[in-house]
Amino acid sequence: MFIVAVILGIIIGIARRGKINRLSYIHFNMSPLIYISVLLYICIIIMNLGLLDYASFLYNAFLIMSYALIFIFIIVNLDIKFMFVTLIGLCSNVLCFLVNGFKFPMSSNSVSMIYGTEIYNLLINGKIKFFIPAENSSLSFLGSIITLGNYKIVSIGDIIISLGIVLIVQAIISDKYLRNKSNITFSKKMFK
């Protein structure tokens, strides 16, 4: 979903007569934090595949570290236009996650529509480790995982983050005053 947001931001930026090479002019502070966060998230996906005992504290630790690193990255880059929108989406996801005991709310109707009645029954009976039915959760409107069509499931926080990514990318591409710092020169006539 976030890759689609980047592509959509590029399309909108080009439609606004922007240039795609302006993306290379932007310097993000502490950019390795994103790479570490993605690595931690890949570890979480491996844990969800059943390659690690669910009783392990590593799942919660990796997820909290991943969110913390993304949060720090966004905070140190708040000077970039529209970065605050991604912060709002991240905060809604984290708040909902923490309030529900390190579990994500998931709409029961979405589960039955996408995964079938067997997974639906497991969710209702509390047998799915990292998810909770949205009907029994707190602040479910913030982080509830919902369907888009018949195949995608996202939370409201993810939609806000994606909107922020679209706004950031299109703003960078269409910013006519953004210049490469290494190409800044002074006019000779300026000093006469």
- Could you read off the pLDDT of 153-162 as tens digits, one per residue? 677 888 899 9
* 115 in a structural domain: no
Q: Which residue has the tokens 């602040």?
A: 139
* 73 in a structural domain: yes
* 61 in a structural domain: yes
N- to C-terminal Cα separation, the chain: 53
* 57 in a structural domain: yes
- Encoded amino acid at 123, one letter: L
How do beta strands 131-133 and 104-106 pair?
parallel
- What is the predicted pLDDT for the residue at 184? 45
- What is the predicted pLDDT for the residue at 52? 55
- pLDDT tens-place string over residues 46-58: 776 665 555 567 7
* 33 in a structural domain: yes
Residue 18 CA to residue 85 CA, distance in Å, equals 21
Q: Tell me the whole-structure pTM to 2 decimals.
A: 0.79
Read off the DSSP letter of residue 148.
E
The domain tally of the chain equals 1
- Encoded amino acid at 18, one letter: G
Range of the domain at 70: 28-79
Per-residue pLDDT at 84 exceeds 90 = yes
Per-residue pLDDT at 192 exceeds 70 = no
Per-residue pLDDT at 180 exceeds 60 = no
* 75 in a structural domain: yes
- pLDDT tens-place string over residues 120-134: 788 788 777 677 887
* 123 in a structural domain: no
Residues 6+ apart with CB under 8 A from 99: 137, 138, 139
* 52 in a structural domain: yes
- What is the predicted pLDDT for the residue at 100? 84
Q: What is the CA radius of gyration of the chain?
A: 20
